[in-house]
Amino acid sequence: MFSRILLLLPFVALVVANPLVPRSDISALQQDMIKMDQTVEVIQNACGAFKAAPTTNNALAFASATENLDNEIQKAIPDVPIHTISDAEAQTICVSFTASMAKISTALDCLDSAKASFAIVHIPTSTVCSIVSKLNTDNTKFIGRISGVTPASSQPCAKTLTAEILAKAAQVKATYSC
């Protein structure tokens, strides 16, 4: 589901902690993360535009942004390092990601409140659920890979941030009955 995509961000943040780590897979993942972060902003903007003016074109822009995010996640999966990252890397990113939580929360709130806009343009909930399901499939694989490289010392931070996102995600899931 779309909101599970946003769930991956704490784990991604933990992976890209220190740009001085001499691993090419970290550099690639950092670039992937930058693109995903930018796409989350595009999703927020598209969702806001769609809610303000519920038209088919705005719905397509919103759907396109979510599809772009799914493509970026698919591309990022092989870029996840195979080695556990250091505690320092993980803690640095945890602090940074905590500051980004507001943006992720806003995106989930926007998606949650866009249901009426989809109804106005006669897009069935099942279509939204289909998009969410596709994102969820790729996100689940990505989260699994990221979780495998997160050190035990950083798990509490990741779990706290994940719990916050899961609460919002559950709200979205209930709204769309996915």
CB within 8 Å of 74: residues ≥ 6 apart: 138
Q: What is the pLDDT of residues 131-165, one digit of tens each?
A: 877 877 787 787 777 777 778 887 787 777 767 77
Measured in residues, the chain has a length of 178
Global confidence as pTM:
0.72
Highest mean pLDDT of the ranges 48-52, 89-93, 126-130: 48-52
Q: What is the mean pLDDT of residues 96-121?
A: 80
In angstroms, rounded to a whole number, what is the distance separating the alpha carbons of residues 41 and 37? 7
Secondary structure of residue 62 in the 3-state scheme: helix
Lowest mean pLDDT among 42-46, 75-79, 84-88, 116-120: 84-88
The answer to whether the CB of 140 falls within 8 A of the CB of 4 is yes
Residue 158 tokens, joined: 């990741």
Cα–Cα dist 115/57, whole Å: 16
Q: Which of 64-68, 103-107, 122-126 has the lowest mean pLDDT?
A: 103-107
